[in-house]
Amino acid sequence: MTEKLLQYLWNYKVFKHFDFKDLEGNPVEILDFGKWNTDSGPDFLSAKIKINHIIFAGNIELHIKSSDWIFHNHSQDPNYENIILHVVFQNDIEIDELKNKNIPTLELRTHIDENILWKHEKLLSESQFIACENLFDSIKIPIHFHEENILKKLEEKSLEFEKSLEQFKNNFEAVLFHSLAYSFGLKVNAFIFKQIAESIDFTTLLKIRQNETQLEALFFGISGWLENPEDNQMKIWKREFDFIKAKFNITDLIIRPKFLRLRPPNFPTIRLSQLANLYHFQQNLFSKIIHAKSSDELFEIFKDIKASEYWDHHFNFGKISTAHQLKIVSKDFIELIILNTVLPLKYTYHKYHHEEITDEILDFYKNLSAEKNSIIDDWKKLGLKCKNALESQSLIYHYKNSCEEKNCLHCSIGFKILKES
């Protein structure tokens, strides 16, 4: 048993039975197993459990042995403050800290079939990109699912937006802000940036948007970065945050972004400053996005976004960089914003009022460049070409929803290969 394998089993819910009980014998109902986190911090984020008729929402940490909580030094790490459940393969010692905080521990040893352990360990050791790649070259397969995949993805994203709109009283501007924050966070900080955005009353953002320093101070303060100012600019941000916090009754909640495995241009300091810059300069942002008729018009909205002057000489607080560089958003980053936030929100807004919006949205995808990432690189190795974002987004969607799940019988490629092999 390895921790990676234990995470895999939890993520895919591979258990003999689900009558979970904590070490005290209390039934534990897993309402949401959480989102698998492959970066630093808890293993599963945004989970929900029910114990003693009370529902808890937060994060879940998995270990082979309960004592790993101590060996991994989680006790003093602020990233582990919102743990609602400690899941272990074997409970070897009692963790006093967790017991004092009433955080239950769930032991999985009797819930896992040993034969399944062996089968899944073998599966995880496979180095193939997709299950059928060894057969892929033996048959010429026409790809006809690109538009279908994009429409499926748009519908899924639209449902997420509709839930957010219901939660935030049909305020498209607020939901746009939350989604843009998610996009600015990229993979590592997406959920964290969205949490920061959702913790801010959008009316507060509107009231201070004329002052870019205050916008930055708000984002940086909620991120917990202004507690010990290291230079004059940090002192200014702290002063402004203290003022905003008192005036608008900002919560004491600290939501800390991550720096691990990020290139300096993608540090959360830079991206939050750029987000503040966007909302400082772009009034009526939602209206501009909705009425844009071409990808060029969308690029015009985002092309001049840059971090504030302080970041010309910094990537992190108090540490001067030797290189002087304007931190302007790149063309590739703008395209990610358009693909991940703008087009899905345009689709959501128009789909009930503008029947032809589907063709317009697909044309946007066709006029944007194909993405560059490891998934697309692997598809290219199999002989598939990506001419535009329609095709790259489709292939990414197909990989995540069919190939990773090994859902070959419901895949047109897999079905044709199996039929003719």
Model pLDDT, residue 124:
46
Look at residue 335 and tell me whether its pLDDT is greater than 80: yes
Chain center to CA of 383: 30
Look at residue 421 and tell me whether its pLDDT is greater than 70: no
Model pLDDT, residue 139:
53
Q: What is the mean pLDDT of residues 100-107?
A: 94
- pLDDT of 65-75, one tens digit each? 999 999 998 98
10 Å CB burial of residue 8 (0-12, 13-18, 19+) is middle
% of the chain with per-residue pLDDT over 90: 71
170 Ramachandran zone, left/alpha/beta (phi>0; psi -120 to 50)? left
Model pLDDT, residue 118:
65
Look at residue 141 and tell me whether its pLDDT is greater than 90: no
Model pLDDT, residue 417:
62
User: Which residues have CB under 8 Å from 114's CB, separation 6+?
Assistant: none
Look at residue 419 and tell me whether its pLDDT is greater than 60: no
Look at residue 354 and tell me whether its pLDDT is greater than 60: yes
% of the chain with per-residue pLDDT over 70: 92
Q: What is the mean pLDDT of residues 212-241?
A: 96
pTM over 0.75: no
Measure the CA–CA gap between 358 and 356, rounded to whole angstroms. Answer: 5
Look at residue 108 and tell me whether its pLDDT is greater than 70: yes
- Which is higher by pLDDT, 133 or 251? 251
Model pLDDT, residue 410:
72
- pLDDT of 26-84, one tens digit each? 999 999 999 999 888 999 999 999 999 999 999 999 999 999 999 998 988 888 989 99
172-184 and 146-167 are packed helices; what angle lies between their axes, rounded to 10 degrees?
120
- Which is higher by pLDDT, 316 or 407? 316
Model pLDDT, residue 299:
95
Model pLDDT, residue 117:
66
Model pLDDT, residue 9:
83
Q: How confident is the model at residue 355 (pLDDT cuts 50, 70, 90)?
A: low
- Which is higher by pLDDT, 24 or 410? 24
- pLDDT of 149-203, one tens digit each? 999 999 999 999 999 999 999 999 999 999 999 999 999 999 999 999 999 999 9
Query: Mean pLDDT in the chain?
Result: 90
Q: How confident is the model at residue 341 (pLDDT cuts 50, 70, 90)?
A: very high
Model pLDDT, residue 123:
43
